[in-house]
Amino acid sequence: MTEPTLFDISQPGKRCTRMPAADVPAPALVDVVPAEHLRAEPPALPEVTEPEIARHYARLAAQNFDVDRHFYPLGSCTMKYNPKVHEAIAAAAGWARLHPATPAEHVRGALRLIRDVEGWLAEILGMAAVSLQPPAGAAGEFTCLRIFRAWHDARGDTGRTRVIVPDTAHGTNPASVARCGWTVTVLESGPDGRVSTGTLAEALGDDVAAMMLTNPNTLGLFETNVLEIAAMVHDAGALMYCDGANLNALLGRARPGDMGFDAVQVNLHKTFATPHGGGGPGAGPVGVTAALEPFLPIPRVVERDGALAWDHDRPASIGKVQAWFGNFLVAVRAWAYIRANGADGLRRVTEDAVLAANYVRAALEGAFDLPYDGACMHECVLSAKTPTQETGVRAAEIAKALLDHDIHPPTMYFPLIVDEALMIEPTETESKRVLDRFIAVMLEIARAAREQPEALHDAPTRTPVRRVDEVTAARQPFLRWRPE
C-alpha cells in the first residue's frame, strides 16, 4: 500500500481554512517587503483540504511499527516502553514554554532540576561531576574525547594520537575518534567475546590517548577484566572512556566510576524514559572524574550566594557542545523517572532487564547458535549461522518473518564479529506473557527455517509494505519528490 504524497493529491484552489476578507486596506506586497526578497513565482506548496491532510498523516501513523503497539527487542537500542506520565510532566507549560534566555533568577526551578539530574546521574555512574549538555549518545562520546584531549594538552602531553577501540564497539566510537582528529586502533576480541589483556598489552604505547570500552559490551557480556584493563591503560598514561549505551544493565548494581573509567556518557533516551526511534531529541550527558571536571562544557549550574546560577567563567572548559543547555525536556523526563523509581526501583529495572534477556537466551539457545556461552547481561546475541548454511535462511529472513507476527525484529548483523547476528534486548518493561509469545514465535520460525525455508523467503506478507529492495534503494536512492 503506497500512500501518495500531499503533492500528488494537490489541486489548485483547495484550502484548509479561508480567511475573511480584510476590512482595512491591504498594502501591496512590494511596499512592505524589499524587492530582492520577493519570489518571482509563488512557492509550489500542496493545496489540500484539512480532512485530506488529517487522513494522510493518520494513515502514515497507522503504518508505523512502534513500541506502543509492538514488542520491540531491538538490541543495543533499549526500546523500553516509557510510561506516558513522563510525557505529561515534560509537556507542562512551566517546563515546555521556558525560554532558554530567561535570566537564571527567574527560572531557579529549572536550574534546580538540572542540578538534581546531574547529581543523581553522578551517583548512579560513580562519577564526580556530570554535564547534561550533549544532545545524544554519540555527541556525549565526542564530548568525552574532547575532554580527554584537553586534559592531555593541559599536561603538555601532545604526542598521543591513537585510541584503542574493541572490534565489538558501536560504530559511533571510531567516528568520534576521527572527529577528534585521532586514529583508531582496533582491538580483536578474545575467544570469550571480551577484551583480552594480552592483546591490549600489545596495542598500548606512549602514543595512546584513550581506550573506549562498552561495558557490558555489545555481545551483552560483562567485561570481567575491566579493573585490570583500566590499570593497564592508566599505566600507559592514557584515559578510560566508558560507552554508557548499555547502562540499563548496571543501574544500582555496578558503577563505571568504580570500574576505573575516567568518563562515561549516558543515553537518557534509552534508560531514563524519553521515547526514541524517531530521530530524537535525545540526550547524552557525560560524567567525569574530579580531575576532568574543569574541562566540562560551559555553562555549569553552580550555587552562588545561596542561589543557583550559571557559571560561564571556566577557562579550562572545552566550550559548548550544544546550543544553550542541551535538550532540557529530556532531563525533565529523567528527573521524573528517577524520582518515580527511586534507588530500589532503578536497581530492579536492571535486575529485570538482565533476567528477561537471560530468560530469552536460555529458551532460544537450542534452536539458534549461541556464539559465546554463558549468562548474558541485558541483551543476548544469537546467530542464524546454521540455518544460513543449511537452508539459506539468513538473519534478515528471520527478522522479516517476525514482522508477520507483529514483533519488531532484533538488531541484525551487529556486532560485526558474529556471523548472521541477531541481537535481542527484551528490556525490563515486558511481561513474561510477552516474552513467552516471542520465544514461541522464534521457535516456530526456527522450525520453518529447517522444514519449509521457501515460506520465509517471502516474508513479510502482512505488513503495509512487503520486502523492500534494499539494494536498489541504496545504490540508486530516490530522495526527493519531483513533479512528473
Partner 1 sequence: MQFPDDRRYTHTHEWARQDGALVRVGITSFAAEQLGDIIFLDLPDPGTRVDGGAAFGEIESVKAVSDLLAPVGGEVREVNEPLMDDLDLVADDPWEGAWMIAIAPDDPAQLDALLDAQAYAQHCAEEA
- Distances, alpha carbon 398 to alpha carbons 208, 379, 393, 405, 450, in Å: 41, 18, 7, 11, 12
Cis preceding linkage at 460, omega within 30? yes
- Least distance (Å) between residue 177 CB and partner 1: 15
Look at residue 291 and give its three-state secondary structure.
helix
413 binds partner 1 (CB under 8 A): yes
| Closest to partner 1 by CB, 7 or 413 | 413
474 binds partner 1 (CB under 8 A): yes
In the numeric block, which cell numbers belong to residue 268? 537518557
| Closest to partner 1 by CB, 246 or 388 | 388
Contacts with partner 1 by CB under 8 A: the residue count is: 10
| Closest to partner 1 by CB, 175 or 441 | 175
In the numeric block, which cell numbers belong to residue 296? 566540562
Using the CB atoms, write b or e for 326-362: b if 16+ within 10 Å: bbbbbbbbbbbbbeebeeeebebbbebbbbbbbbbbe
Give residue 321's identity as a one-letter amino acid code.
V
138 binds partner 1 (CB under 8 A): no
97 binds partner 1 (CB under 8 A): no
Q: Which of 29-37, 132-140, 157-165, 412-420 is the region at the interface with partner 1 (rule: CB under 8 A)?
A: 412-420
- Least distance (Å) between residue 421 CB and partner 1: 9
Q: Which of 224-232, 254-262, 320-328, 467-475 is the region at the interface with partner 1 (rule: CB under 8 A)?
A: 467-475
Q: Which of 210-218, 234-242, 345-353, 466-474 is the region at the interface with partner 1 (rule: CB under 8 A)?
A: 466-474
Give the strands of the sheet with 380-383, arranged side by side.
Answer: 380-383, 421-424, 411-412
- Structural contact between residues 447 and 111, judged by C-beta atoms closer than 8 angstroms: no
Binding mask 379-398 for partner 1 (x = CB under 8 A): -----------------x--
| Closest to partner 1 by CB, 363 or 417 | 417
| Closest to partner 1 by CB, 164 or 412 | 412
| Closest to partner 1 by CB, 360 or 418 | 418
Cis preceding linkage at 299, omega within 30? yes
Binding mask 262-281 for partner 1 (x = CB under 8 A): --------------------
471 binds partner 1 (CB under 8 A): yes
The DSSP-derived string for 193-229 is SS--HHHHHHH--TTEEEEEEESS-TTS---TTHHHH
